[in-house]
Copies of this chain bind each other. A is one copy, B any other.
Amino acid sequence: MECVAPPAGLEQAGSDMAILGKQIYKLTHSKTYVDLITRLYNDSEGLTKTQASAVRHLYEDYAKTKNISAKLSYEMDLCFNKAYTDWLNAKQADDFSLFRDSFAKVIAYTRQSVLLRDEQKETVYDTLLDDYEKGGSIKQLDGFFDALKARIIPLVRQIVKEGKPIRSDFMNRPVPIPQQEAFSRYLLELEGLDRDKLVLMTTEHPFTDHYGDVDVRVTTHYYEENFISNIFSTLHEGGHALFMQNEPKALYDDHAADRMTSAMHECISRFFENVVGRSEEFITFIMPKLRELSGHTFDDVTAKELFEAVNIATPSLIRMEADELTYGLHILVRYELEKAFVNGEITVDEIPALWKEKYKAYLGVDVPSDALGCLQDVHWTGSYGYFPSYALGNAYGAQILRTMEKDFDVYAAMGRGDLRQIGDWLTEHVFSIASLSTPDEWIRAITGEAFNVNYYLDYLEEKFKKLYALQ
């Protein structure tokens, strides 16, 4: 549907998917299935560790929805579908009022469905955070975002005020698409992906998906005038692909793979995109190949200039276009708002104004419209508690980097283009246990200590102070 199906075939493919969806619902709500999964969950003796893990995930999937009646489930589907359409219209018309009612209903249904569960965390939003990032809570994330606020906001202000100017005139020079594709393949090869298990295709909105470890599909989108941006998109998707290709075979065999949290997956993709891809060492390494494959379009650009240009940090309006440094502040705004409206502390009508207030306060920008403000992301048409994953992933990565550096010189490896050394380390220490661990267990097992946001903040400060020649 995303890469191959012709436009006229999409509706039919959608109906086919709906038929399969109904079958999945039927199977996972059948008495046989529920009895089996409940029994195995309550008595896992005799199961291997991976089997027990698979059972636990299946049981938890079931437990989350078991008290939701078919009628409520149907009403929710209708409401969420309508919310998506309303949101799209509201965004296009730049008119929050078109989304308002649906938004309020989606929040109400979400609260209701959480409150029906047997297991409750302290607040509804805590439960939702725990859904996406096992063990996550308001308490943990308040600490995380407070620290981020305290150190990143001043740094961004300092860059705006005193940062040295950075050249970026070359960023949108056109490169023919076949050359871009060749460069993408080169990058995926560098990342150590097994090409016998890999597909590279194009789509509108890049993503990576897989069927087990043997068939991993990376997609990207080439724009002639966005060659440099495609480099980072490819490195990012390649990071996801590396994770998918290198979970232990035993986990795939027991259907226990692919159970890490989104933040854990994003941690790896962003590691390759930002920590590796936006490092001076790696940029210097790929520069000759980049010059050659782009037909010498960048012959007047030094590696240092390219490194600086791909790291320009600017407060802006749109999360999806944000740089490595300011990205977390975009998430901060969303986190604070979600927490408040999900837990009933503010109403939906207050959201547009609060959004503008927070963007002004944290990023120093004036939000001119809701389309460029609180209507920009699709997420609030149905999922709350997911946004923090984006920021957590970055933070995990910095902590893992510091541990990796105890074993070998990571930046020297980047400078040699030896991403395989990094991938091998990740396979051994990070991929091997991800699906069997909560984020907390995972970070402790890898780094020997609890998650600590300061690694991330140190990393950002060090990188961006140096880049902008600040004290």
Docked complex Cα distance between A89 and B424 (Å):
40
B9 A197 Cβ-Cβ under 8 A: yes
Docked complex Cα distance between A195 and B6 (Å):
8
- Which residue on chain B has the smallest CB distance to residue A215? B9
Interface status of A148 (Cβ within 8 A of chain B): no
Give residues 185-210 of A contacting B (CB, 8 Å). Answer: 194-199, 201
Give residues 87-136 of A contacting B (CB, 8 Å). Answer: none
A214 B9 Cβ-Cβ under 8 A: yes
- Which interface class (under 10, 10 to 19, 20 to 34, 35 or more) fits A? 20 to 34
The proximity string for A residues 1-12 relative to B, scoring 1 for CB distances below 8 Å and 0 otherwise, is: 001111111011
The proximity string for A residues 238-282 relative to B, scoring 1 for CB distances below 8 Å and 0 otherwise, is: 000000000000000000000000000000000000000000000
Give residues 1-45 of A contacting B (CB, 8 Å). Answer: 3-9, 11-13, 16
The proximity string for A residues 217-228 relative to B, scoring 1 for CB distances below 8 Å and 0 otherwise, is: 100000000000
Q: Which residues of B contact A215 (CB under 8 A)?
A: 5-6, 8-9, 12-13
A18 → chain B closest CB, angstroms: 15
Interface status of A211 (Cβ within 8 A of chain B): yes
A12 B197 Cβ-Cβ under 8 A: no
Interface status of A212 (Cβ within 8 A of chain B): yes
A199 B6 Cβ-Cβ under 8 A: yes
The proximity string for A residues 343-369 relative to B, scoring 1 for CB distances below 8 Å and 0 otherwise, is: 000000000000000000000000000
A12 B212 Cβ-Cβ under 8 A: yes
Docked complex Cα distance between A412 and B197 (Å):
51
- Which residue on chain B has the smallest CB distance to residue A5? B215
A457 → chain B closest CB, angstroms: 40
B12 A214 Cβ-Cβ under 8 A: yes
Docked complex Cα distance between A199 and B215 (Å):
22
Q: Which residues of B contact A6 (CB under 8 A)?
A: 195-199, 214-216
B7 A196 Cβ-Cβ under 8 A: yes
Contacting A13 at CB < 8 Å: which of B8, B211, B217?
B211
A6 → chain B closest CB, angstroms: 5
Docked complex Cα distance between A211 and B212 (Å):
25
Of A6, A11, A178, which is in contact with the most chain B CB atoms at under 10 Å from its CB?
A: A6
Docked complex Cα distance between A390 and B13 (Å):
32
Q: Which residues of B contact A5 (CB under 8 A)?
A: 199, 215
A214 B8 Cβ-Cβ under 8 A: yes
- Which residue on chain B has the smallest CB distance to residue A245? B8
A9 → chain B closest CB, angstroms: 3
A189 → chain B closest CB, angstroms: 14
- Which residue on chain B has the smallest CB distance to residue A4? B199
Q: Which residues of B contact A11 (CB under 8 A)?
A: 214
B199 A12 Cβ-Cβ under 8 A: no
Docked complex Cα distance between A13 and B199 (Å):
14
A9 B201 Cβ-Cβ under 8 A: no
Docked complex Cα distance between A432 and B172 (Å):
52
Q: Which residues of B contact A214 (CB under 8 A)?
A: 6, 8-9, 11-12
Give residues 390-432 of A contacting B (CB, 8 Å). Answer: none
Docked complex Cα distance between A4 and B9 (Å):
18
Give 8 A-B pairs besides A9-B211, A12-B211, A12-B212 with Cβ atoms closer than 8 angstroms.
A4-B199, A6-B198, A6-B214, A6-B216, A8-B196, A9-B212, A12-B214, A13-B215
* 25 CB-based A-B contacts, threshold 8 Å: A4-B4, A4-B201, A4-B217, A5-B199, A6-B195, A6-B196, A6-B197, A6-B198, A6-B199, A6-B216, A7-B196, A8-B194, A8-B196, A8-B214, A8-B215, A9-B197, A9-B211, A9-B212, A9-B214, A9-B215, A12-B211, A12-B212, A12-B214, A13-B215, A178-B178
